[in-house]
A = this chain, B = another copy of it.
Amino acid sequence: MEQLLGQVAVRFSRLPMFPFFDLAHYTASVMSLKEQRGAVEISHNSPIACWVSAMICCFGGSILSSLMLAEPPVAFLGNTTSVLLASSVWYLIFYCPHDLVYRCFAFPPIRLMVSGMKEVTRTWKITRGVAHAHSHYKNAWMIMIVIGWARGAGSGLISNFEQLVRGVWKPETNELLKMSYPVKVSLVGAVLFTMQHINYLPVAKHNLMFFYTIFLVVTKVTMMLTEHKTSPFALFEAALSCLFFGWEPTCLKAKGEVRLPNNGTSTACDLGDSGKKKHAKKTE
């Protein structure tokens, strides 16, 4: 049984992301963008700003990690196939007559599948980011965590600047001040994969990938199905907050917040479920 699971994990870890999982990632990202306030108007008034915004949503992780490692942030444009794929998705979702493509993907079962597949790409991005940082900086585990995190949750972390392209500026909030669930889970993933990479974690890489992905997909689907906004980390965070950052008042306050966690303010690109149902109801 264990051997079978091991084989499944190995096979899973060799799964190619291109083209289906990448397509799902582009679709989920662009749909979240379309659900942002004002995005549809911008798509008509200024297709180029809309396209740039969509590309930042789709390739945000690559752009952010390139900036951090002083590699060309436009390098992703060199991968013509991916960019054309993402552009096609953007075009179909924003400009298809009668909004057909958007409505099709907004159909709950399809959306659920697309969101689940998008989560799978997150694992791949984090592991690639960690390995890439390791190839530049041997054993600089902090850089590995940061790059893994940036790859996994890049579009969320640079959402302030993605919004700026669309003429929206919300300085009072950002993904560091109020982390959305995808940004949190990417950070956890980056820490885990970095520990695995420098052999602090006695787990094989394919097993970690397998179980982390399952955790990602299951929590994502559960959160979408139950419309439950509470992060699965809420209790853990509260405990950690109490332990490290809390003398009494904070601790009490933190405990109080567990009941009303504020993860609903996720950003355009990494938002996967919170805005969708309201919007879906409106458009249908």
Contacts and interface: CB of A to CB of B under 8 A. Distances in A.
Interface string A156-181: 00001000111111011110111100
A249 to B, nearest CB: 8
A68 B72 contact: yes
A42 interface: yes
A140 B80 contact: yes
Overall SS of chain A's interface? helix
Interface string A169-199: 1011110111100000000000000000000
A283 interface: no
B72 A70 contact: yes
A176 B70 contact: no
Given A48-B179, A49-B177, A164-B160, A74 B147 contact: yes
A73 interface: yes
Given A48-B176, A165-B174, 6 more contacts: A67-B73, A69-B72, A70-B70, A74-B146, A167-B171, A167-B174
14 contacts: A46-B179, A47-B241, A48-B176, A49-B174, A66-B70, A72-B143, A75-B143, A78-B137, A83-B142, A95-B245, A164-B171, A165-B177, A166-B177, A167-B174
